[in-house]
Chains A and B, each alone.
Chain A
Amino acid sequence: MRDMKSEVGYWTFFIIAGIVVFVLLFFHMMIIHMDQLLGIFNPAGGSALDWKNVIYRSHSAFFTTIYIILLAAALYHGFYGLRTILFELGLKKRTQSLITIAVWVIGITLFSVGVFANIAVQTVKAAV
């Protein structure tokens, strides 16, 4: 029963993460790749990848939160997919449990590194 509950939970959050990634990627496309057309969140003008614009977004609490949510959703969605692919290789139950643990550990580590980078960039000055 425990296996059942966790599997249903994993899949539920996999779908939620997929929807979050889809919505946030839409905004990513608008802000970064359609910058010349829309020009939103580019206070310094020019390209969205100009240093001043990048630092402006990185110092914004809104963007920091969005980046962290996108990172969590993308990591969860991707690693769940990887776990599913590996499970279909006909592995033993014990190996499957080890894969689940490994995926969690690697995912949380990468998430921690991403969150650290996101917060650390707050200290970088715009004038560099």
Chain B
Amino acid sequence: MDKENQQKRDIILHIRRFDPERDESPHLEQYTVKVEPGMTILDGLHQIKQNQDSTLSWRFSCRMGVCGSCAMLVSGRPMLACNTQILDITDRALTLAPLPNFDIIRDLVPDLTRLFEDHVAIQPYIQGQDAEEMENPTGEFFQTPHELEKYLQFSYCIKCGCCMTACPTMATDREYLGPMALAQAYRYNTDSRDRGYESRKSVIGASHSTFNCHYAGECSNVCPKGVDPARAIQLMKRDLVLDYLKLKKRKKACRVMGIPSDVERKPSIPFPPYTVEQK
């Protein structure tokens, strides 16, 4: 046996399968995969589809932990399949299932409609006080590093749904807005350029929203990007209460920095070469 084959191990993957046209309920199927160091769960799934069962379905796109498409339940814990190496978590077997708290479309593909509807509900975009400046910008909004730091970590969210899966309130309350949407509401409310707090308030302050978070903290534990949604929700509770008691500080107007008119591009900096052929 050569050195390459010596490093390979047989790992058993128990995968929850479900075809709505054929099955009444999900069931487990077992596959054995030859795993070598560095191989991710996503690679393992590709190997199964290529060599053993072409009907296996899952969702993926970027393969580098950026798009959030391949989130799934790996041995009971929500993770990104592309970001997780098999030998890092097991040397024998692991179980793969679709994200709970969502309906299943097929096999490992969850229906994330609820996640995106919740996201839309909190108006996840900058709402400026100056509509004219927003439509026809004359410059750039000035933001200090301190102001940026307040919301920066929450903007790393890739909407993979891991936090929604780990949340115990999501599991019982189908109307609950969820940690992803709430953390994003906090992200925009905290942005010094945004003036949308008043319009988001009717969503984040209603029942089945911010105050239904019981601070289990699992959302923050499982986030593959290191975002802390639990913290965002607690800070948003504080903001809502201070606002209710009329103690909330008003945001200062965000200054617009005009585009400098008396500068030119340095001639010594060449335009970068095209990486694809131009027609």
A104 CB to nearest B CB, Å: 15
Interface string of A1-13 (1 = CB under 8 A from B): 1011101111110
Contact yes or no, A11 B237, CB < 8 A: yes
The answer to whether B138 has its CB under 8 Å from any CB of chain A is no
**B contacts, CB < 8 Å to A:** 169, 172-176, 201-203, 205-209, 211-212, 237, 240-241, 243-245
CB of A7 within 8 A of CB of B211, answer: yes
Sort A-B residue pairs by CB-CB distance and give the 3 closest, nearest first: A4-B205, A88-B173, A11-B211
Indicate if the CB atoms of A7 and B205 lie closer than 8 Å: yes
Known: A4-B202, A9-B244, A11-B237. A87 touches B207 (CB 8 A): yes
Q: Which of A1-57 contact B (CB under 8 A)?
A: 1, 3-5, 7-12, 15
What count of chain A residues pass the 8 Å CB interface test?
17
- Among the interface residues A8, A12, A90, which one has the most CB atoms of the partner chain B within 10 A? A8
B244-A8 in contact (CB<8A): yes
A127 at the interface (CB under 8 A from B): no
How far does the alpha carbon of A4 sit from the alpha carbon of B197 in the complex, in Å? Answer: 13
In the complex, 12 of the A-B residue pairs with CB atoms within 8 angstroms, ordered by the A residue number, are: A4-B202, A7-B207, A8-B240, A8-B241, A8-B244, A11-B237, A11-B240, A15-B241, A84-B212, A87-B208, A89-B172, A90-B173
Chain B residues contacting A9 (CB-CB under 8 Å) are 244
Secondary structure call for the B interface: helix
The answer, yes or no, to whether A96 is at the interface (CB within 8 Å) is yes
B241 to A11, Cβ gap below 8 A? yes
Chain A residues in the interface with B (C-beta under 8 A): 1, 3-5, 7-12, 15, 84, 87-90, 96
In the assembled complex, how far is the CB of residue B99 from the closest CB belonging to chain A, in whole angstroms?
19
In the bound complex, CA of A15 to CA of B243 (Å): 15
The chain A residue sitting closest to B243, CB to CB, is: A8
Q: Which residues of B contact A89 (CB under 8 A)?
A: 172
Given the complex, which residues of B lie within 8 Å of A88, measured CB to CB?
Answer: 169, 172-173, 176, 212
Which of B175, B209, B240, B243 is in CB contact (< 8 Å) with A90?
B175
B172: A residues at CB distance < 8 A: 88-90
Q: In the complex, are the beta carbons of B244 and A12 less than 8 A apart?
A: yes
Interchain CB contact (< 8 A) of B205 among A8, A15, A84, A96? A8
Q: Is the CB of B244 within 8 A of A96?
A: no
Min Cβ gap A43→B in Å is 41
Q: How far does the alpha carbon of A5 sit from the alpha carbon of B207 in the complex, in Å? A: 10
